[in-house]
Structure 1
């Protein structure tokens, strides 16, 4: 037919039918035969309670088909179809009804998941019901041939059931996620034991963690709460066809969304959505505490219910799978930093292993016990057995452990169940372990300690001005000035000098080595200073230098930090000592990752966001295990808690300041991201980003690196030549790309520190960054920038040329500072 003679209403009808079909396919609650769901398309239950579609958990790079609460602001997934086979491209993958089955195809049209029914019908339809149940029905008879409720993931909703169907030989089992961002099946399951008429929470489908107790006709004996019936009514049925438990809501006046889950942390929980607080709240959980979950911290992991991270590795050990550890999956446990020597006291071919002392511990599982004359005999017995990894001596009995140690727990000092245990370590690692984080209290002579304590008490009474007081916030200590003067031998051994003051090495009376920073130019009053210290003192993270205490006497204000025995990162990168050798690539990568984690804690995990202001190698300290610790954090906040803007006084080091500092804009956490990116490039190259040649020219390495990255050149050409190309080229490439993302001129383009951590952990891929075009321009003009302290003078102006924009900027900022008074904060840089 001639197109010119086509009736005008035909195209209108075509587009109208197409529009109606889209609305029916993806705006309704069902997927019919010959229809499909892809990309961002979803279906929503008729009452709007639940939604089904493609999703990716957190920042995970893979996609799943799942069902989630529609009316809950925090996306909460209650069922996942393809838990074990995620897809990479949701736009090329489809979920559709084919030959009577609901099937998920990936981008290569490979079948990833299916309902696997025997129904062969062209009229089958998949419907999402308002109770969160996805059903597949035969369109001709409207009978249900499959439902997601029969194959639960980790969630049990009201109206659902858990049990065993003898006719279908099918068990409904709740299986935890692997971790907070991985829906694949985890280690923990909740299921019916049909023989004992009880429900079991299990680890690895084998070891029982908790039991509901048997059904007594009214409730399960270990769950007396079931009898209240205030919120839920439970029904348990057991007959020749099978057994099952179901529940329904009785009172929905305050909380309308409820769910039972098996959490990835090994607990079964009852959760309710608090609409006014916009969060899920736990109303019931078993086991009662996290450390009661079997093997939660894995081998050689120590559980502590009083800390937010729950799990830590013993000194001399590190997490086996670092990526999983940071996602909350501690099941991989810890591994030794150095293998055992396996020598014993009677051999001379190898040095004998030694034992590290730990106190206030809950012992690991499965000890072997036998009578022993004394502790020395017990130790000798363990040392002579290659498989013996720990021993304890208690009430004339020797306890030994063989193989990996599980379910250790750190108990409070006032817990009478705490015991002493000795764990085997190689002799060559003993010196490092003595400097590590000690879970127990180092043993010593009771008599000497008593005398020493008495002398201290007498000295404290005679010299009240110098006494050491325990502050209100945990272990924070208020030191007297004379105490710190004595500890540092009159501040004789300087470790370094930087922003806000100088740092000195000191030793406390209990032989603890400390670093003491004498603050300069801090003008807060006593109360304000202590409040600021309280804030910083509560910051606890393995990648942040721990603040042990402070001194505030008049204008004498000092901070007492833990001592990092391997000094700062810059000494290892730019001026390595001959006896230390070159920092290997694997260590550099771990330093980059650890530093990023510390900054994530400052930016996102503290009560108030803390911007560091001065990220550079000089402020990254390394402990005896080369674990990075960010130093000088919070000092900008300490110097001026109520300031609304930040200017900078630069003293000697250029190249780490983000462009927004120069423009006078209020800085955000992205200023730290910029500095971190600059430091990454120094980690890669082993050289300063800005170096002056003999002829007076300045080589700016970030511009060189960016040119190689943007042109996809040989990435190893910018690697530290001292490494002799011994590095993972993919890791080097990822870090260089990541650095270029961090140093973008536009702060909104830069990633957050949490995204950076995920890239370094391998959870996220890093794409090619935009060309940081403004970088070279910014550096070219950096010598034209004026940095103010209190007033312009020859000592604090740094001008090589004076273009109009620089002069106007200086005048504007100086005028604003005088008019705003305390509204502008200074954040100093070395």
Structure 2
């Protein structure tokens, strides 16, 4: 009991009896929240649960008192160190301490002694709705369990402003530290629900809180040997649990109570008439909105097709039917992303790649402006856009397609350096030499084509974005491929420096001879850029050089210099990354890569990497 040193121990103190060793008890912990939860169990440890995932623990009847709680807003590195917004227990993934920093919703239990006792406690606040339900095992001789406590309502929105905290709602005892909000379990010192506690009682009537200190109905029992299921964000709402008996009304200063029925005939009639009027207004508004939306789309689709043929410098315009035939009804898919799919086709003597875009909200004129600009660029290291289709709601881009030989031998260092230089020159042209600045926004190996002499060309401008020279940035929804996205995509305020970050990732892949995200590797090596952080800080960069090529080892010093250039490009702060013209100067030996850089390349708070395998993706 000494290990459990917070108010909940006082609540369960009479329950902790002698606990004999027994058979294995199964705890199933399920995350039904729409966000990631990091559950912690003492004893037991901690894990990460994405939405829909579960975690099963086996405990013995001698486990004794314990806790299970959700943690939110967490970030842990590969060694299990980090922090959480709520429920943090010393900055580690696997908890060894029995308490986490509030606010946090707690499940408390003691196992053994013939009877198990368990509850849900809100004395340390609230952060995630929780069910703590028994799953009776076979052979219990007819003994029955209590129903199990439930806190199925998300009461965060009802939290008084004085108690609000990132990720949840604090208890008044924690905030105000006054005796009237903090109970000791002594019936003579029991709390009366106040404005700051009544919403806990109403939202979670099965849960133990300071205002229900002497209420034995918040403790639940089962015969020893019972299995348990803990569900975060249970699907049913609070109506599935009956309200607490005699729940007091909030003690709001200055309020008065009148002994007359609230729902008088006049009030009921007023509510009905008001609801009908509101419904009529809503129907009229929705009808008007839908009508205008359809009218706008119809006018857009009926815009004269002649406008596409009148502008100089436009690439070939294809009909949708022509591209259907060229791709054999879009049969052979080369890849797929958030903005559409790429299909292989044949047009005359040329093999083509056709990107069928899914650009909700983009009209013909905006699409036309991008096609006109992209179609007019000519550079030796950029694949030229040869055609497009803008027919009604269809948006497609067409360019020459060359497949790569997957059985090609490992490239030597001069060839890899040549490919890196060509990519840099292509990006420099887009960023600094075109009339309008063009951000490619999908720089990755799959969009870099090599000819028989290993000359590199950057392809696929389906996600590119035009940026006026007089603007420093553009706001756009997320484009690109997981693993190559710059950190600033979290804000949607994008400059051409997003390409510089992606370029840094590609450079590291070329040097290391592997993908940035590779789930076939050990857990600590899955993410190349995270691994780069660790290696540079421990002065072990040489470990990352491709070991399948002896030539890479011969040119080790040049390779390490290229890594330093890549790290300059991988700065989290986009303003600290170089322009592509500076990158070229480094590659040509005119200047050195910046040495005063931050060796953190991945934001501390980031989502678990999602791995996407594109159809036909080449390694």
Give the structure-1-normalised TM-score.
Answer: 0.33
Give the structure-2-normalised TM-score.
Answer: 0.44
Q: Could you say which structure has the higher helix fraction? A: 2
Q: Could you say which structure has the higher strand fraction? A: 1
